[in-house]
Amino acid sequence: MPAPVAAAAESVAATVPALTPVDIVIDSDLGSATSTSGAMFPLHLGQPIVIDGKTLVPAGTSGVGEVIWAKKAGGSGSPGELVLAARYLDFGGRRLRLRSMNFQSVGDSRYKTVNSIMIASAAAVPGVALVGFAIKGKETTFAAGTLAHAKTAEAFAPDATPPVAAVLQSVSQVEKNADAHP
């Protein structure tokens, strides 16, 4: 095997495949009452990414997530909402894009409490049923240190300077040139 082909084969072997599951740890407190849609938040890799017994990306590698949607709890028992997404890990000056975190949670709803109060109030004293609108739902919160799961969005070769596709393309060109000039 020619040297460029061997180097490319080793580079491909040391690649984190797309859709590799990863554990992510959120590094700041987030909540439906305090977070805003579009805000970025710090996170880090909770467990190393190990492929074929080799650690390719170490635990603790820092990254960034995004608050996709944040809505405070409201009246009538409506719960707070918070939707988070992992965006990427920073490793070796490059970004390993993440996906499929879709960390979504909804606070406890108090709709049943509100409905019970409104029905009881209407039966006991007509016109007092509006008391239920003053009951607020619970907020959704995630404390720093909360574990989430995500997946890699693309193949990632930590040791390769150029992307793997570029290496394979250059190897293919070398092979074509070698075949054309025996």
Indicate the domain borders of the chain. Answer: 20-110+138-175
Angle among Cα 45, 50, 52 to the nearest 5 degrees reads 170
Residue 48, pLDDT > 80, answer: yes
Does domain 20-110+138-175 bear CATH number 3.40.50?
A: no
Collect all residues with Cβ–Cβ distance below 8 Å to 148 and sequence separation of at least 6: 23, 24, 25, 26, 43, 84, 86, 101, 103
Query: pTM here?
Result: 0.66
Cα-to-chain-centroid distance, residue 62: 13
Alpha carbon distance 55, 78 (integer Å): 45
Collect all residues with Cβ–Cβ distance below 8 Å to 9 and sequence separation of at least 6: 1
Q: Which of 13-27, 53-67, 115-129, 162-176 has the lowest mean pLDDT?
A: 115-129
Mean pLDDT of 121-131: 44
